[in-house]
Amino acid sequence: MVRKIVRYPEPVLRAKCRPVTEVTPEIRTLADDMLETMREANGVGLAAPQVAVDVQLAVIDVSHNPDCITFMKIDGENVDMMKNMPVVFLNPKLELGSAKEIGEEGCLSFPRLRGDIRRSSQIKVTYTDLEGKTVTVETDGLLARAFQHEIDHLNGILFIDRLNAVAKVGMKRKLARLMQEWEDDD
């Protein structure tokens, strides 16, 4: 079932999400619904608070672009990214590489807004999957960026928070205009 994606400034987007202690049928349904909702919106990722549920669950799919990473490892073994999409992850712990790069991002909770965000170019993330198994993923490129963006959501952090100071000033006005447009969308 496609769920409604909440938009900024809905308070749930600022929630510090609760860990998932057990993979219940409700969690599986939520994950399925989030995948469907992300695809319908042509998104690369979606976090539970974006469908108004404050739990540490998010989904990512970067398979629209097979060349968006240079590597992906699962539990230390090189894998084919295309065969490992989508990723559904619970309770992530993120380790950031020291090298940074700037890339353009958007967010399904901010329709038509884009911003250049500086993030680690490489990450290691350990999470629980829907089978309750602990999984470690190392990667770079768009997949590393998507993990950082979605894990921020689970901590109530939004991509606009990570704009540089100059961009934040310009963003305020743009955001005010867009928020009016979003209301008109409904």
Shortest Cβ 157–Zn ion spacing (Å): 10
- Is residue 107 a contact residue for Zn ion (CB under 5 A)? yes
Q: Which of 55-63, 69-77, 102-110, 119-127 is the region at the interface with Zn ion (rule: CB under 5 A)?
A: 102-110
Task: Give the binding-site size for Zn ion (rule: CB under 5 A).
Answer: 1
Alpha helices in 71-164 (DSSP H): 141-154
Known catalytic residue: 40? no
Alpha helices in the chain (DSSP H): 25-40, 141-154, 165-185
- Are 140 and 99 within 8 A, CB to CB? no
- Are 60 and 44 within 8 A, CB to CB? yes
Shortest Cβ 109–Zn ion spacing (Å): 6
**Centroid of chain to Cα 54:** 14
**12 in helix, strand or coil?**
helix
Q: Which of 13-21, 26-34, 107-115, 130-138 is the region at the interface with Zn ion (rule: CB under 5 A)?
A: 107-115
The 55-94 contact track toward Zn ion, x by CB under 5 A, reads ----------------------------------------
Determine how β-strand 134-140 pairs with β-strand 72-74: antiparallel
Q: Which of 10-18, 101-109, 111-119, 122-130 is the region at the interface with Zn ion (rule: CB under 5 A)?
A: 101-109
Catalytically annotated residues: 150
Interaction site with Zn ion (CB under 5 A): 107
